[in-house]
Amino acid sequence: MTVPATAAGTQLKFSIVVPTYKEAGGIERLIVMLDDVFKRNKLDGEIIVVDDNSPDGTGDIVERLAAEGYPVRCLHRPAKMGLSSGVIDGWRFARPDSEALGAMDADFSHDANIIPAMVEALSNGYELAIGSRYVKGGGIEDWPLQRKITSIVAIALAQPLTPLRDITSGYFLVRRSALEGVELDPIGFKIGLEVIAKAHYRKAIEIPYVFTDRVAGTSKLNQNEILNYLRQLVRIYRGRLTGRT
Ligand SMILES: Nc1nc2c(ncn2[C@@H]2O[C@H](COP(=O)(O)OP(=O)(O)O)[C@@H](O)[C@H]2O)c(=O)[nH]1
Ligand SMILES: [Mg+2]
């Protein structure tokens, strides 16, 4: 299930959350690029940056861009509190009339050029659109072998939960209505998995993109996050077994 990465004049209102911790090296370029993608495709998108008091001044850069008129608002949290909880807080902060909510990393690993296709999919009956490395046309560039293996194992562990392939994708857009009444666990890095496993959607689509390694700053994925992922999986499986989700 894929649609071509083209869309013209779609007017679905959406908010895309970009959680940041120490992303001063790239955040300005990302916001300028998103603004450009929105304008060229006539998209009604809002960017919500959720910054955890980054010591490198990421939040100040975002405030300056907001004041300059870019379609961005910054939610400041007092300390590093985790990626998933950042996305969830960002969705609460999003304008209430956004019909769709999304997430994207700040490090350019998620190709902004598929946003129009995601928006088009949600305008055409899909309730969830995820950026996918593991469908035809998608892929991964410049990942060390160890990271690739980690990703493949992580995905295999969640396979029984869904027919979707790239379940660890942190890049997606979902109808707000599909999240109503859904309790999302703020643990760890994999907010996409929470949404894929728990949101109320009938039709989902994977839109291919090529994942590129971050261009500035450093990865915050560490052993602790791998453990968190396993904890998250256990909770989701347990929820399924006890019928709570
Ligand atoms: N607000 C916030 N953002 C975070 C936190 N941890 C990671 N991020 C952001 O989440 C995104 C993904 O993190 P990254 O380090 O690129 O993880 P990786 O892609 O798995 O290596 C980036 O935009 C990070 O700045 C956190 O604790 N709080
Ligand atoms: Mg990254």
The string of DSSP codes covering 43-54 is -EEEEEEEE---
Q: State mean pLDDT over 216-237.
A: 90
The answer on pLDDT for 161 being more than 90 is yes
pLDDT (tens digit per residue) in 190-223 = 999 999 999 999 999 999 999 998 878 888 888 8
Counting ligand 1 atoms within 8 A of each CB, the residue from 21, 92, 225 with the most, and so the one to mutate, is 21
What pLDDT, on the 0 to 100 scale, is given for residue 176? 98
Closest ligand 1 atom to residue 18 Cα is 23
Domain count, the chain: 1
Give a yes or no: residue 2 inside a domain: no
Please say if the pLDDT value at position 101 is more than 50. Answer: yes
- Note whether residue 233 is domain-resident: yes
Q: Would 221 be classed as within a structural domain?
A: yes
Nearest to 101 by CA among 176, 34, 48: 176
Q: Is the pLDDT of residue 6 over 70?
A: no
pLDDT over 50 at 116, yes or no: yes
The more confidently predicted of residues 168 and 112 is 112
CATH of the domain at 88: 3.90.550.10
CA of 20 to the centre of ligand 1 (A): 6
Q: Is the pLDDT of residue 9 over 70?
A: no
Rounded CA separation 170/211 (Å): 11
Q: Per the domain annotation, does 7 fall within a domain? A: no
> How far is Cα 85 from Cα 50, in angstroms, rounded to an integer?
10
147 domain-assigned? yes
Probe residue for ligand 1, chosen from 105, 214, 215 as the CB with the greatest number of ligand atoms within 8 Å: 105
Share of the chain above pLDDT 70, in %: 95
The reply to whether 58 falls in a domain is yes
What's the pLDDT score for residue 7? 46
Gyration radius from the chain CA atoms: 17
pLDDT of 229 > 50? The answer is: yes
**pLDDT at 171 exceeding the cut of 60:** yes
In this structure, the residue with its CA closest to atom 6 of ligand 1 is 83
Q: What's the domain range around 22?
A: 13-242
Q: Where are the alpha helices (DSSP H) in 17-96?
A: 27-40, 58-67, 83-93
Tell me what percent of the residues of the chain surpass a pLDDT of 90: 84
Residue at 32 is within a domain: yes
In a domain? residue 227: yes
Q: Which ligand is nearest to the CA of 106?
A: 1
Helical residues (DSSP H) of the chain, grouped into ranges: 27-40, 58-67, 83-93, 115-123, 145-158, 191-198, 223-242
> In angstroms, what is the span from residue 107 Cα to ligand 1's centroid?
8
Ligand nearest to the CA of 79: 1
* 5: pLDDT strictly greater than 50: no
Q: Determine the pLDDT at residue 144.
A: 87
- 106 close to ligand 1 (CB < 6 Angstrom): yes
Residue pointed to by tokens 């001063």: 24
Q: Is 172's C-beta closer than 6 angstroms to any atom of ligand 1?
A: no
Tell me how far the alpha carbon of residue 123 lies from the centroid of ligand 1, in angstroms. 29
Q: Which atom of ligand 1 is nearest to the CA of 22?
A: 25
